[in-house]
C-alpha cells in the first residue's frame, strides 16, 4: 500500500508542480509529512530523507517537463543557465544546513516560507521595481530577452548579478526544504524580472532539473535516501511532469498564478498548525 501511495504522491505533486513551475516538492514534502503524522506506515519520514527523496523525484519531474517545454520553445535556456551559477552552490549550502533541522522546526519554517512566497504574488506588479545594486552600472550587467508568445513579441530585462544572487538564495532553500526552488524562483522571475508566466514556469523546471541532480547527489552521499519508496514515486513523477507541462500550455498566465497562490496558502497554513 505504501508503494501505491508513493506512486500517487509522485504523480499528483509532479502534475501540479509542472503546471506552475514548482517542481513538485512543494506538494511532495508536506504530503509525506502529513502521512507521517497520521499513518504508522510512514513513521520512517524525517526532514532529511523526505527532502532527499523529493529532490530525486524532482530530477525526473524536471527532465520530463523540460523536454516537453523545450519542444514547445518555452524555455529561456540562456537565463536558466545563468541562474544555475547561483542556484547550484546555494543548493549545496542548503543540503548542509538540512542535516541539523528537527522535524517540528522543519514544518514551521516550511509553512512560513510558503506564506512569504504567496505574499509576493499579491504585490501589485506595477509597484515592484528591480532593486539597483550599489556600484554597478545598470547597463553593463543587464540581460534582455525576447520571446514570441502566441504571435506576440514579449521582451523582458533584468540584472544578471541580481538574478544570480537571488538564484543562490533560492538554491539554498531548495537544498534545505526539497522544494525545487520554483516556488521562490517563479515569483521572482515574474514580479522582479518581468518574465511571462508561460516562460517563467518552464525555465524554472529547466533549472530544477539541474539543481536537483546536484542537491540529491549530496543527500545520497550523506545516506539520506530510502531507495525502495523513492523508486515507487519516480514513475508517477515522470507521468505527472509530462501531463502538467501539457496542461500548462492550455491555461492562461493568470490561472497558473492563482493555482500557485491557492496551493501554497493551504500547504503553508497546514504545516504551521502541524508544527505545534
Residue 84 sits at the vertex; the CA angle it makes with 59 and 31, to the nearest 5 degrees, is 40
Average pLDDT of adjacent 10-residue blocks, the chain of 276 residues: 92 81 75 84 87 87 85 91 94 88 82 79 50 48 82 85 92 82 79 84 88 88 89 91 81 69 80 78
**Cα separation values, 134 from 13, 43, 149, Å:** 40, 50, 34
Write down the pLDDT at residue 118: 78
> What distance, in Å, lies between the first and last C-alpha atoms of the chain?
29
H helical segments located in 72-102 = 77-98
d(CA 175, CA 260): 21
Write down the pLDDT at residue 84: 95
Phi-psi region of 52 (alpha: psi -120 to 50; beta: other; left: phi over 0): alpha
- Residue 184 · residue 170 · CB < 8 Å: yes
d(CA 270, CA 35): 13
Write down the pLDDT at residue 129: 46
Within the chain, strands assigned E span 142-149, 152-159
Q: List the chain domain ranges.
A: 2-274
- Residue 201 · residue 20 · CB < 8 Å: yes
Write down the pLDDT at residue 120: 65
d(CA 244, CA 256): 11
Q: Nearest CA to 193 among 76, 99, 112?
A: 76
CA 136 to chain centre: 29
List CB contacts of 4: < 8 A, sequence separation 6 or more.
232
d(CA 75, CA 109): 31
Residue carrying the nine cell digits 499513518: 39
Amino acid at each position: 500500500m505504501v508503494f501505491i501511495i508513493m506512486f500517487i504522491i509522485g504523480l499528483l505533486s509532479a502534475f501540479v508542480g509542472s503546471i506552475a513551475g514548482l517542481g513538485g516538492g512543494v506538494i511532495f514534502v508536506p504530503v509525506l509529512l502529513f502521512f507521517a503524522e497520521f499513518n504508522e506506515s510512514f513513521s520512517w519520514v524525517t526532514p532529511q530523507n523526505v527532502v532527499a527523496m523529493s529532490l530525486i523525484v524532482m530530477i525526473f519531474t524536471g527532465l520530463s517537463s523540460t523536454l516537453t517545454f523545450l519542444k514547445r520553445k518555452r524555455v529561456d535556456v540562456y537565463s536558466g543557465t545563468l541562474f544555475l551559477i547561483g542556484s547550484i552552490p546555494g543548493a549545496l549550502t542548503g543540503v548542509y544546513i538540512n542535516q541539523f533541522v528537527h522535524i517540528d522546526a522543519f514544518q514551521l519554517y516550511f509553512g512560513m516560507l510558503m506564506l512569504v512566497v504567496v505574499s509576493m504574488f499579491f504585490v501589485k506588479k506595477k509597484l515592484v521595481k528591480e532593486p539597483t545594486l550599489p556600484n554597478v552600472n545598470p547597463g553593463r550587467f543587464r540581460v534582455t530577452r525576447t520571446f514570441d508568445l502566441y504571435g506576440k513579441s514579449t521582451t523582458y530585462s533584468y540584472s544578471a548579478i541580481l538574478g544570480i544572487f537571488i538564484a543562490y538564495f533560492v538554491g539554498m532553500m531548495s537544498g534545505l526544504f526539497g522544494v525545487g526552488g520554483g516556488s521562490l524562483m517563479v515569483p521572482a522571475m515574474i514580479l522582479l524580472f518581468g518574465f511571462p508566466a508561460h516562460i517563467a514556469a518552464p525555465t524554472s523546471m529547466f533549472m530544477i532539473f539541474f539543481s536537483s541532480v546536484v542537491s540529491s547527489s549530496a543527500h545520497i552521499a550523506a545516506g539520506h535516501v530510502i531507495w525502495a519508496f523513492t523508486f515507487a514515486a519516480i514513475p508517477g513523477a515522470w507521468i505527472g511532469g509530462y501531463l502538467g507541462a501539457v496542461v500548462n500550455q492550455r491555461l492562461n498566465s493568470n490561472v497558473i498564478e492563482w493555482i500557485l497562490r491557492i496551493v501554497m496558502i493551504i500547504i503553508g497554513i497546514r504545516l504551521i498548525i502541524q508544527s505545534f
